[in-house]
Amino acid sequence: MSGPAPAPRGTVLLDLDGTISDPAGGVYASFRFALEQIGKPWPDGEPLAWIIGPPLRESFMLLLDDPERTAQALQHYRTHYAAGALYDNRLYPGMAEAIAALADDGFRLYVATSKLVSFAEKIVARFGLAPRFARVYGSSLDGRIDQKGDIIAMCLGTEDIDPETCIMVGDREHDVNGARANGLDCIGVTWGFGGAEELTAAQALTLCERPADLPGLIRRVIDARLALLPSET
C-alpha cells in the first residue's frame, strides 16, 4: 500500500496576460470596438500596450472619466471579446514546458489574473494547461473584485496558502504591488508588457528573461525559504 502523497514544494501564482500568453490581438481589437461603439474611436497608431495588466474598468475610466460610459464600454468590450477575440491569443514559447516542469516538480499552481475569470478559464483550457493548475482566479463580473491585490488575497484565503512558500509571477507593476500587499514577493518576467524598468522600479524580487529559466529560478527561491522554516520534528 502506498504512503501519503508528498506535500507540495510550494505554491506559484501566475499572471495570465503578458506572462503565460500574449493576448494583444484580441484585447486591442475588443478595446477599439468598445470605444467605437460609444463614439470615441482610438486614434490609429496610438499605443495600447498600457491597457494590458490593469483592470479594464480602470483603463476605460482613465479615458472616459465617466462611470456610465465606462460601464457601457466595458460591456461592448466583453461582447466582442466573448464572440471570439479571446482566442486571438498566443502562448509564449516555452511557457507550456515551464508550467509542466513546475507542476511535475511538486509545485501547486494557480492563475491569478485581472482578466474576467470566465475568460481566463477558457483561455487556459484552450492552451491545454487546465490540468496543470489547481484553479484559475480572476476578476468578478460585477466588478467588486478586479484589483490584482484583491484577486491574490481571494486565492490565498480560499486555498489556505502559506505565504512563506508562495511566489507570484507577473509582467507588470500591478503584479508586484498586488503580491506585496499580500505579503508575497513577485518574480518579474520581461517578455510581457511591463518590461525590466517598470518591474525593477516596482521592486520585483528578481527578473526572468526567458520562460525556460523560470522553473529553476522559482525552485531556488522557494527552496531557500523552505530551508529557513523551522523543522516540524
Beta strand ranges found along 92-141 (DSSP E): 107-116, 135-139
Q: Which of 12, 19, 59 is nearest to 189 (CA)?
A: 19
- Residue count (the chain): 233
CA–CA distance, 62 with 135 (Å, rounded to integer): 31
CB within 8 Å of 230: residues ≥ 6 apart: none
Q: What is the dihedral of CA 30, 122, 176, 76, to 10 degrees?
A: 20
Q: In the Cβ-directed half-sphere of 168, how many Cα atoms lie within 13 Å?
A: 35
Please, which residues bridge with residue 91 across strands?
21
Beta strand ranges found along the chain (DSSP E): 10-14, 21-22, 90-91, 107-116, 135-139, 166-170, 185-189, 206-208
Cell of 157: 484565503
Given 15, 22, 171, 175, the catalytic residue? 15
175 is catalytic: no
Please, which residues bridge with residue 90 across strands?
22
CB 64 within 8 A of CB 70: yes
Q: Which residues are catalytic?
A: 15
